[in-house]
Chain A
Amino acid sequence: MAIQPNIDRNEACVFMYSYSSVFKDEFKLDINYVPPRLPHRETELKLLNQFFRFTVETPGKMTQRVLVVGKVGAGKTVLTQLFGQNIIREAGKRGINLHYVHVNCRECKGSLFMIIQRVVLKFHPNYPKRGYSAQELLQALMQILGEQKAYLILTLDELDALIQNEGSDSLYSLTRVQEDRQIMAQRLSLLGIVRDMALLSTLDASTRSTLQRNIIQLEDYSQPQLRDILNDRVTNAFHENAAPSQSVDLIAELAASEGGDARYAIELLWRAGKYADAESLREVLPEHVRKAAASVYPTIRKDTISSLNLHQKLLLLGIARRFKQSDTAHLSMGEAENAYAVVCEEYGEEKRGHTQLWKYVNELSALDIIRADSSGAGQRGKTTLISLPKIPAAELEKELCKTLRV
């Protein structure tokens, strides 16, 4: 009888283990998660706060229009949302009735009516859904703000959609809605998010001039910056040592090659974690990252592989096998050559020389199947470092074996 409790505890351990995960808190990798800290966007956040400082210091005296410009995954949405949270907290402390509403124009099909309706529904959840124009609704919104003595920072995410769908007029009426209310308190400030500045040139001159005064340009994240962002998320989302630096570095490298897309990087991190979980492993390996990359953007087509010549295939097979065995992110040219030699022996082929193989590596790299980088500082001598960012080694091996058999 005395042993019984121990058995129970062991069973519980087995149970726990079978459900163990590399994740500590998966939500921290969710697309909707707004982290309290944004690495490498501190300056931009400060700038936003400066632009909107008046809303908490002298509310009603003026309004502001700011544009945030940046590519996909540059952190536009999360930057504005974090700013929104901060400023609402600050306004709350000072007893100011300030609201921050974030509307995605694309979700609203680029219609001013639907955009304003979303905002109005925040104040009056049962406001009738139809039976009036966008202009009437805009006036109703101003009336509501006036009656509630509320101030609003309206963020128009993916403003491109509104401009493409309705042209200048809608944006014009939004920016000018306060002008016939000059004597009254100024209540509506706008924060636009666009991907491409070029779109603004399609607007008419007067709308453009009201928008172009305050622009915050978000530069693409560089590889080291992406690594910092990923490390931040890894600390919050993963168990200790569950995401080793070589995997994180590989993700940063992949995302940097996709134009510094942080969202893609975080998505990869999450998926790689899922693959590690699926194999009941306690850490995320570079192979999981490759699998994740292949599932996010399946870029390598089968016909690309079958169009390679025999020795290119053999070389690739060697590389794939070596990656499968070793859990590293990079192979040196020498290691690749050795792996290739083994494969040649297996298939009874005479191996090609170094220069020929180096040409093959460059060709495979040009086809975007592998990545070849010159080794930089920190390593003795100079070699070509080969990585396999876009396809899981196991999958590549399977595919190659199939074509080589024929």
Chain B
Amino acid sequence: MSIETVFSSKGKVKILKILVEIGELNISEIARRARLNYTTTNQHLQVLEASGIVRHKNFGRIRIFRFNEKNPRAKIIKELMNEWDK
């Protein structure tokens, strides 16, 4: 996935920002905070997960998303966002 796919989308950037700030969250809560609808949020998260930046864990019906700490790109994005908000 190209870099512009991630950074040209306001929704994806918002989602990444929320995950940097909170750590881990379920889809509904991410959607609420990002002021996006559930389906859009879900789609964004699918793309981000496919690129390895985020990953999810299932607890029964509940899916909880978080940054994929093992992915070097994810690390850099996290650092970038932390730096940006300083």
Contact = CB atoms under 8 A, between A and B. Distances in A.
Q: Do A and B come from one complex?
A: yes
B24 interface: yes
Classify the interface of chain A: helix, strand, loop or mixed.
loop
A139 B59 CA distance: 8
B24 A140 contact: no
Contacts, number: 36
Interface in B55-86: 59-62, 64
Contacts of A124: 24, 64
Contacts of A395: none
Contacts of A126: 22-26, 29, 64
B48 to A, nearest CB: 18
Contacts of B62: 127-128, 131-132, 136, 140
Interface residues of A, number: 12
B42 interface: no
B60 A136 contact: yes
A125 B22 CA distance: 9
Interface string B15-36: 0000000111110110000000
A143 interface: yes
B64 A127 contact: yes
Given A124-B24, A124-B64, A132-B60, 17 more contacts: A126-B23, A126-B24, A126-B29, A126-B64, A127-B26, A127-B59, A127-B62, A128-B28, A128-B29, A128-B64, A131-B28, A131-B61, A132-B61, A139-B59, A139-B60, A140-B60, A140-B62
Counting from the closest, the 4 A-B pairs by CB-CB distance are A140-B59, A128-B26, A136-B60, A126-B25
Interface of A: 124-128, 131-132, 136, 139-140, 143-144
